[in-house]
Amino acid sequence: MLLAVAFAALMAVAPAFAQEGDWLSDSTLKMEQGQTAKITAYCGSAPASGVFWSSSDPSAVMVDGWGTVTAKRNGRSVVTARFPDG
């Protein structure tokens, strides 16, 4: 199962959801360099556990294993949450 959300340093893109009922606490963010934000992946109404987070462009937006994103520079990145079963 895969959820993707766009994060950007000053720009944002629409999200793509893989399965109904799964969602992220934020679908798009506009961030300035150095700002951080925390996002949470949900399965239904409960926060998901064991989520693997990744960024399509870590040089623009980094994401750690807990869903904390950091804007590194101007740019655009899609942050993806992958659940253990997908």
pLDDT at residue 85, rounded to an integer:
65
Map out the domains of the chain as residue ranges. 2-82
- By the 10 Å C-beta count (0-12 exposed, 13-18 middle, 19+ buried), 60 is classed as buried
Q: What is the pTM of this model?
A: 0.71
47-83 confidence digits (pLDDT tens): 777 888 889 999 989 999 998 999 988 888 888 888 7
Higher pLDDT, 70 or 42: 70
Whether pLDDT at 23 is above 50 = yes
Annotation: CATH topology of 2-82 = Immunoglobulin-like (2.60.40)
